[in-house]
Amino acid sequence: MVREVKHKEIEQVFKTPILQQTAFWSKVKRRFGMDSIALNFKVKSSALKINDTGNPEYVITDLLLLLHRFDNEYSIAYVPYGPEIEPDPENQGAFLEELSEQIREYLPQKCIMIRYDLVWKSLWAGDDRYFDEDGIWMGPPSKDMQELRFNIGTQFGNFRKSGSNNLPSNTIFVNLNNSKENLLGNMKPKTRYNIMLSERKGVNVRVCGMESLEIWYELYKETASRNNFYLHSIDYFRVILTERACDTLSPADVLLLIAEADTKPLAALFLVISGNRGTYLYGASSGSNRNLMATYALQWKAMNIASDRGCIQYDLFGVSPKEDPSHPMYGLYRFKTGFGGKLYHSMGCWDYPLDHKVYSFFTASEMNHQGYHLA
């Protein structure tokens, strides 16, 4: 199923709408001391979920891995939202097992596992048994049941479902292959109303550069404090904003958008364009003047910019899996579903242990430390 896994230069990573599988993302992470590996490989066409490649027996694709130090001795190979190519559901475990075994030789000697943050559609999101009578997805089964299903067809049965996901496993995709009138028409009435209200209230959204990074960071710190999430340094965002990877096959265009009223910053976001997709990567907002609906104006502007630059899809990047008020991302679900996109559930993080003893120690430590921010 998987053939000819070969190392290649990061600059040769193929163009893709998946931001985290681009040379751009590798270069950002390298600026903070993280190593990365790019690999080409061939996949048998008959094993793919959708075989629209014509008649070739094999498809050539690639993969980006990031290497994280667990301690002074051991490391972890992390695959953010990869591999992009998606096998038939019946072949997923066997495909990933073959790939993992062939990847081994390119990894450090004491690499304890490969963690795949799979962007593939959840096996249980296409199964009617996991939807309630109102058509609402109830989520995947227990961890043990997921592992049993995923390991079908594998030789070793090694895959383990991670205790948590590093990147969002539920998102909203908006189809930008529409007129602006249709995009607005597909939105919920309240969202459409709030976009128009922000315009009437004088909210202006401008595209900014490095000169406005401090403005962004003040809004970001306020948002992090309000919502108690992990705080990146300002240097991290400086790199995000300045790196373009233009000397590669998979660059990205990064824009900082700030919404203001009477020159007062109210909200901001990072829009990243890779391939034919625009991604809402980071966002922040002020706790004041929320009645001006600046966050709605900001998203509408981002969608329009992405569309004008040839994107056919806008990724709102991270929501709760359903309308569940007890979920910590429920507020994002209510906000983002208003923009008329489709909810997408991915497989999330799956581990392929290479050193089972140290892997068990790592997972216990990871639970105690609530994750290692591998993304």
Report CA-CA distances (Å) from 337 to 169, 273, 283, 322. 15, 21, 16, 10
71 pLDDT exceeds 60?
A: yes
Q: What percent of the chain has pLDDT over 70?
A: 97
- Grade residue 46 by pLDDT with cuts at 50, 70 and 90: confident
Q: What percent of the chain has pLDDT over 90?
A: 87
Sign of CA dihedral 49, 52, 58, 63: negative
Q: Which fold has domain 177-311?
A: Aminopeptidase (3.40.630)
Residues 128-183 have pLDDT tens digits of: 999 999 899 999 999 999 999 999 999 999 999 998 899 999 999 999 999 999 99
- Grade residue 373 by pLDDT with cuts at 50, 70 and 90: very low
Give the pLDDT confidence score for residue 375 in this predicted structure. 56
CATH superfamily membership of 2-167+346-369: Gcn5-related N-acetyltransferase (GNAT) (3.40.630.30)
CB distance 340 to 176 below 8 Å: no
Give the pLDDT confidence score for residue 371 in this predicted structure. 42
CB distance 141 to 124 below 8 Å: yes
pTM for this predicted structure:
0.94
Strand-pair partners of 314: 174, 278
Average pLDDT over residues 7-24: 98
Compute, in degrees rounded to 10, the torsion defined by CA atoms 354, 356, 359, 363. Answer: 130
Cα distance between residue 222 and residue 290, in whole Å: 14
Average pLDDT over residues 241-268: 97
CB distance 189 to 340 below 8 Å: no
Report CA-CA distances (Å) from 290 to 13, 187, 265. 42, 20, 12
Q: Where in the chain is the domain with CATH 3.40.630.30?
A: 2-167+346-369, 177-311
Q: Of 97, 63, 49, 24, which is closest to residue 245 (Cα–Cα)?
A: 24
Average pLDDT over residues 232-248: 96
Cα distance between residue 353 and residue 115, in whole Å: 8
Average pLDDT across the chain, whole number = 94
Dihedral-angle region of residue 209 (phi above 0 means left; psi in -120 to 50 means alpha; beta otherwise): beta
Give the pLDDT confidence score for residue 336 in this predicted structure. 97
Strands 111-121, 264-274: pairing kind:
unpaired
Q: Which residues of 92-111 are buried (b: 16+ CB within 10 A; e: fewer)?
A: bbbbbbbbbbbbeeebeeeb
